[in-house]
Amino acid sequence: MKQVYKRDLERLWQTISEHFELYLPLEQDGKVNFMPWKQGENVNIDRLKTDLSPKNIIFPPTETYLKFRTVNKRLCFESVGGKNDKYVVFGMRPCDAASYSILDKVFLQEPIDRFYEERRTNGIIISLACSEPEETCFCSSFGIAADNPVLGTDIAAWDIGESILWQPKSEKGKKLTGILDNILQDTSEHEIIALERLQQSIREKLAQLPWVDLDLEIISNNMKEMFESKVWEELSKSCLGCGVCTFVCPTCHCFDIQDFGAERNGERFRCWDSCMYSDFTRMAHGNPRKTQTERFRQRFMHKLVYFLNNNGVYACVGCGRCVEKCPVNMNIVKVIKKLGGD
Amino acid sequence: MSLKLEEKAISSKQQFEPLIVAFCCNWCSYAGADLAGTSRLNYPANIKIIKVPCSCRVSPNFVLRAFQRGADGVIIAGCHPGDCHYSTGNYFTRRRFTLFANLLEYVGIEREKFKIEWISAAEGNKFATVMNEMLDSINKLGPSRKLRDGRWIRQQ
Amino acid sequence: MDKTTVRMQQIALQTLANGEVDVILGWKKGDEWYDSYPVVINDINETAELIWDAFCVNNLSKYLITELKKNLRIGVFLKGCDSLAFNQLVIDNRIDSERVVIFGLPCPGMIDPQKVKHAGLNKGLLKVERTGDKIVFITKEGVKEYIGRSFDYDKCLNCRCPNPVVSKYMLSDAVTRTDEEQYFPDVTEIEKMPLEARYDYWTKQFSKCIKCYACRNICPLCSCETCVFDNIAAGVSSKADADCEQQFFHIIRAYHVAGRCVDCGECSRVCPVGIPLEKLNRKIIKDINQLYGDYTADTDIAKSPPLGTYKVDDFDPFDGSKQGGKK
Amino acid sequence: MSCNCQKNVDSLIPQVAVIDSIRKETADVATFRIITPAGGKSFDFLPGQCAMISIPPIGEAIFSITSSPTEQRFLEFSIKKCGSVTECLHSMEIGSEVGIRGPYGNHFPVNDVLRGRDLLFIAGGIGLAPLRSVINYIMDNRRDYGTVDIIYGARSPEDLVHQEDIMNFWPKQINTKVHLTVDRAVDGWSGHVGFVPSYIKELGLANNKVALVCGPPIMIKLGLQALEQVGFKREQIYTTLELKMKCGVGKCGRCNIGDKYVCKDGPVFRCDELQQLPDEY
């Protein structure tokens, strides 16, 4: 276990950014989001969670992965996706880090998505425990420990006030720790006690939250029964069909592929798409999900049933962004409660 | 050789060749353009005319799309108010694009880049003058990438 | 219980029971203090769950479009700004006002949960009650009282219509606001910026957009059956995260509600990345007011919408001979 | 050639392919024969699998491969004009280049379940395309399979695709019968008139066969009912489905029926498996 004093943080970031691209939670116009850091930026590591999830780092909103050209009437494809630069993300929360391990199950399963793989292997994730979990947090329902970052984490960190404790969890994490040797300090008994006290306090705060123990067991035994449940119609009535929930969600990963260009020259990109949109499944001959009820059902069935069946985990980390951002206060917690018979 | 060059390369050249898209109403302004042609009046080859049934057929989408896909200036030319072939079309054009032109200016687009002109079928002269003036003012502004799609490659 | 809530439940029960309406559009309370959400009910037993508090921010008038296709008569609770949208939907011929019974709710302003959170008042918070400008926070530890509007949504601070302009039953006394807000200070501020700065400002704002379309879908007046941005055949749909596409979307979105926007501010409220969309809408409103007379279509449903009509002697900025003082 | 294509690394990257020939089947269906620029077929596959065809800058669409895996020289796709990609494809000339990637999805169980069994193929309209791949594969390995019955229907005689196969080639093969039907009687058509599902019942075929069904959704639905009425069990019936797909590799998240992705776990489903899935296709 190492530590970095808060007064040294600026120097830490400076040193990291000499070797890597560094993503930090930066505050702009009152919103905090992970963005590439430059000296003088307004860093905010106290905001519990960023407004948007950090999935854009490994799964960009738009990624051009193919260029096509026509040379002498011959078509020519060139693969241009992926990311070669090595980077570090500092201050990601355990739920968001865990979401990376969920996205891995999609993109790193055969056939492996090479562009994603490249981004993923080039990144080092420093995950900061949540000293002040909020009422919209329900990560513990999904087995994620806010006091002890593990999943998707290369280095676990804790803010104990004067300093930030630093514990490498992976080979990548150890390597980075080595590079930062002259800034990181050794810890003593004193810090270990502080850490235990912090973790204890986090656990106590979590226990006070309203949604810590959502009962997920009660749902999702029978896919068809769930699918045909009457609750979808009722729940989806207020749904506006926008894509906020899917775009702020750290685990939503559906994408579209589109071409841009003219006369057989241009590029192909993939971009975030939302199952909430009416054109998501629209084909030339029809649409299997014609109403918002069907699209709404798809989103939650995917997260709570289909993904579990296929990958053994839920496609939700309980970050609570959809809870805060939904314009009509509809969210996965309500769905879970309703499916469980309230 | 159909290889297309990056537009950046074009704009970095000394010669800036603006592209102006002119939406011309079929009944007045397009005829005005015709007259300018048959009267052998010079108007620049940089003007690409798109014929529309009435100036009020032009949607703001068209204007923005033109800017995205390479236009340096967009002009909508219609009959003089009161002379619309469909009686009232250009009165609506006038209201719509008065607001739209203000909105474009509000988001930082130069007035010179988007214009409306009333040009009758008899005003071949005015057509040529307007187009020449438009080209002049765009030339003065110089190359700009406002509203342009960065991925767009202009054909050589 | 709040007096208005009691009245609300009574009138819902009464109108459902006597067949005046078939369904009611209202709000229910979720488990959390900030969670008041829109509901459609037709069961008189559910009327007791209806609620009116400082979080009933959702405008129910847009739901009328779909619900009127399924139900004959609908009762709907509308705040001041909601009623403006309702009238505009009637003008746009999107709903049949004859089949709607409006319960008017004078509104003192809605509370922004994010402001409560940023003030650190959300810890252990159980309930928030509001009477006029008095706000009471009931927590596990005790009760805190605040006077003032510091927790109101930004859009509510600019409210110019707290009382419903149309209703059959009014559920409480009219709200009086003495603080006359200056209406377009933010627009004038941007207009004064140099052109390049304006372009940079807006490009930066637009570039934050994640194309979630919440601004469009929450807008009570964005009510096309198929939006041009969802219609692949229209050729403008592009999901690319490119500056020009964001500019395209936002300029067209604002312009498409030109002359119809009631300035309810919902677009800005729901934007997850904080784009000040109302500043685009207000620019258009300001111009319409200046050029075509006061933009009060929303209170007078007999009047033609400003872009659905014209005058022969409208101001003509494109006629060289008349070009004068106005830039 | 001044082309510096990089090595294809990701499954989303297409290879270049050339349209070698175009055979007009009906007013709006044509069969495209596609080869690599050097000649030969782009990849090996099994009957029932699909491939993504790219027409830059219009986009990509997924099609079932209609030629037999035993065909080494080319891949064939029978494509109906119905969307932007297919419109563009139909306007292309021989020698034009397109992109292709694949093969995707599972296949009909030609190497196990179908072996030695009597087979019944039921197709409607363009639905013959994926089945033709299986039929021709079986014709090339004729001794490994039992009898073959092919019921094929279309709106009119002009809408029957692969006329050479259905009229001449298949009927001449041993133990193979082709039963054609059209929806409405027209002059010059001496064959059966009526919808495919009712024809299934009229034919009175033995119900110990394995049935492979493909066609428009309504024909599949009613066809399955008809098969069940004549005594087929759902375990004996295979069908192939299509939904909107973008990636083809089970990641983009739009072609799922319940927890199954049509592009990866399908497109071929046994009907008893399909019955377990939500009704959303």
pLDDT in tens, C118-147: 888 888 889 999 988 899 999 888 899 999
Q: What average pLDDT does range C50-66 have in this prediction?
A: 94
D244 contacts A281 by C-beta, under 8 angstroms: yes
Pairing of strands A31-36, A21-28: antiparallel
Q: How far apart are the C-alpha atoms of C228 and A311, rounded to whole Å?
A: 37
Predicted confidence pLDDT, tens digits, chain D (281 residues): 334 444 446 789 999 999 999 999 999 999 999 999 998 999 999 999 999 999 988 899 999 999 999 999 999 999 999 888 999 999 999 999 999 998 999 999 999 998 989 999 999 989 999 999 999 999 999 999 999 999 999 999 999 999 999 999 999 988 999 999 999 888 888 889 999 999 998 888 888 899 999 998 889 889 999 999 999 999 999 999 888 888 989 899 989 998 999 999 989 999 999 888 888 77
Facing B117 at nearest CB: one of C200, C291, C318: C318
- Which two tokens mark A106? 């999609």
DSSP class of A303: I
CB distance A267–B151 less than 8 Å? yes
- Report helix, strand or coil for D243: coil
Q: Which amino acid is at C87?
A: N
Provide the pLDDT confidence category of residue B137 given band limits of 50, 70 and 90.
very high
Closest partner CB to B118 (pick from C197, C252, C319): C319
B153/A260 CB distance under 8 A? no
A258 shares contact with chain B (CB less than 8 Å): no
Strand ranges inside B108-153, DSSP E: 114-118
Q: Distance between CA atoms of A69 and A262, rounded to whole angstroms?
A: 10
**CA angle, residues B20, B26, B27, in degrees to nearest 5:** 130
State both tokens at B93.
Answer: 């054009």
Q: Is D43 helix (H, G, I), strand (E, B) or coil?
A: coil
Mean pLDDT in residue range C263-282:
93
Contact residues for B128 (Cβ-Cβ < 8 A; gap 6+): B36, B41, B42, B43
Residue A77 to residue D15, Cβ atoms within 8 A: yes
Our CA-based measurement puts residue A328 at a distance from the nearest CA of chain D, in whole angstroms, of 25
Does D259 contact A305 at a Cβ distance shorter than 8 Å? yes
- In A266-285, the residues whose Cβ lies within 8 Å of chain C are 269, 271-274, 277-279, 282
**Start-to-end Cα distance in chain B:** 10
> pLDDT of C140-155, one tens digit each?
888 999 998 899 998 8
Question: Which residue on chain D is closest to A281 by alpha carbon?
Answer: D244
Structure confidence at residue C158 as a pLDDT band (50, 70, 90): confident
Which residues in chain C are contacts of B133 at CB distance < 8 A? none
Closest listed residue to residue D178, CA positions, set D195, D188, D163: D163
To test the contact with chain C by mutation, choose from A242, A246, A277 the residue with the greatest count of C C-beta atoms within 10 A, namely: A242
pLDDT (0 to 100) of residue A192:
92
**B108/C197 Cβ within 8 A:** yes
- Confidence check: pLDDT of B11 > 70: no
- In chain B, residues with a C-beta closer than 8 Å to the C-beta of A265 are 4, 153
**Are residues C212 and A274, on separate chains, in Cβ contact within 8 Å?**
yes
ipTM: 0.90
Spell out the residues 6+ positions from residue B136 whose beta carbon is closer than 8 angstroms to its own: none
Could you tell me the pLDDT band of residue B2, with boundaries at 50, 70 and 90?
Answer: very low
Task: Report the largest interatomic distance among the alpha carbons of chain B, rounded to a whole angstrom.
Answer: 49
Please, what is the average pLDDT of chain B?
A: 87
Residue A70 near residue A105 (C-beta atoms within 8 A): no
Residues of chain A with confidence (pLDDT) below 50: none
Residue A172's SS3 state is helix
Nearest chain D CA: its distance from A88 CA (Å): 25
A259 beta partners: A268
Q: Residue A49 in contact with residue A322, Cβ under 8 Å?
A: no
Q: How confident is the model at residue C97 (pLDDT cuts 50, 70, 90)?
A: very high
Q: Going by C-beta distance under 8 Å and a sequence separation of 6 or more, which residues neighbour residue D180?
A: D152, D153, D160, D166, D191, D192
Report the percentage of chain B scoring pLDDT > 90. 71
Instruction: Give the residue-averaged pLDDT of C57-67.
Output: 94
- Chain C residue with minimal CA distance to A276? C212
Output phi, psi for C257, to 5 deg. -100, 15
Give the minimum alpha-carbon distance from B73 to chain C in angstroms, rounded to a whole number.
16
pLDDT, residue D4, reads 41
Map out the domains of chain D with their CATH numbers. 15-104 (2.40.30.10), 119-240 (3.40.50.80)
CB C22 within 8 A of CB C2: no
What is the rounded average pLDDT of the residues C246-259?
93
Q: What residue in B sits closest to A76 (Cα-Cα)? A: B3
- Give pLDDT, residue A342: 57
* 3-state secondary structure (DSSP) of residue A254: coil
Query: Crossing angle for the helix pair B89-106 and B60-68, nearest 10 degrees?
Result: 50
- Which member of B96, B108, B151 has the closest CB to residue C242? B151
- CB-based contact, C37 to chain A, within 8 Å: yes
CA distances from C194 to B4, C200, C203, C207, C276 (A): 36, 10, 14, 20, 19
pLDDT at A73: 83
Tell me how close the Cα of B134 comes to any Cα of chain C, in angstroms: 13
Residue-level pLDDT at D6: 42
Pick from C54, C125, C114, C29: which is nearest to A209 by CA? C125
Q: Which residues contact A231 (CB under 8 A, 6 or more apart)?
A: A335, A338, A339
Sorting pLDDT into bands at 50, 70 and 90, what band is C321? low
Pull the structure tokens for residue C303. 């009047």
D162 Ramachandran zone, left/alpha/beta (phi>0; psi -120 to 50): left
Contact C312 B91 (CB under 8 A): yes
Q: What is the pLDDT of residues C199-213, one digit of tens each?
A: 999 999 999 999 999
For residue B64, list chain C residues with Cβ-Cβ distance below 8 A: 247-248, 251-252
Q: Evaluate if residue C327 carries a pLDDT over 50.
A: no
Query: Which residues touch D103 (CB under 8 Å, ≥6 apart)?
Result: D43, D44, D45, D46, D49, D50, D51, D65
* Residue A88 C-alpha, separation from nearest chain C C-alpha, in angstroms: 22
The strand pair at D256-257 and D260-261 is best described as: antiparallel
Q: How far apart are the first and last CA of chain A?
A: 44
Type and span of the H or E element at A297: helix A292-301
Q: What are the structure tokens assigned to A297, written together?
A: 């059902």
Tell me what pLDDT residue D267 has: 92
Helix, strand, coil % in chain C, rounded to nearest 5: 40, 15, 50
- Helices (runs of H) and strands (runs of E) counted in chain C: 11, 8
Closest partner residue to B4 (CB to CB) among A73, A265, A267 is A265
Instruction: Say if residues C175 and C168 touch (Cβ distance below 8 Å).
Output: no
Question: What is the rounded distance in angstroms from the CA atom of residue A259 to the CA atom of residue A6?
Answer: 47
Contact A4, A170 (CB under 8 A): no
The neighbours of chain B, by the rule of 3 or more Cβ pairs under 8 Å, are A, C
Q: With CB atoms and an 8 Å threshold, state whether A261 touches B2.
A: no
Strands (E), chain D: 15-24, 29-35, 50-55, 59-64, 75-80, 97-104, 119-124, 148-154, 176-182, 192-193, 210-214, 237-240, 256-257, 260-261, 268-270
| Cβ-Cβ contacts under 8 Å, D4 against chain A | 76, 78
What count of other Cβ atoms lies within 10 Å of the Cβ of residue A337? 18
**Token couple for A43:** 């860093």
From the list A240, A248, A278, the residue facing C272 with the nearest CB is A248
Spatial separation of the C-alpha atoms in residues C314 and C312, rounded to whole Å: 6
CB A168 within 8 A of CB A197: no
Read off the tokens for B99. Answer: 């607001």
* Nearest C-alpha in B relative to A267: B151
- Tell which residue, C106, C101, C105, has the closest CA to residue C15: C101
Interchain proximity C314–B148, CB inside 8 Å: no
State pTM to two decimals.
Answer: 0.91
Which pLDDT score is estimated for C320?
65
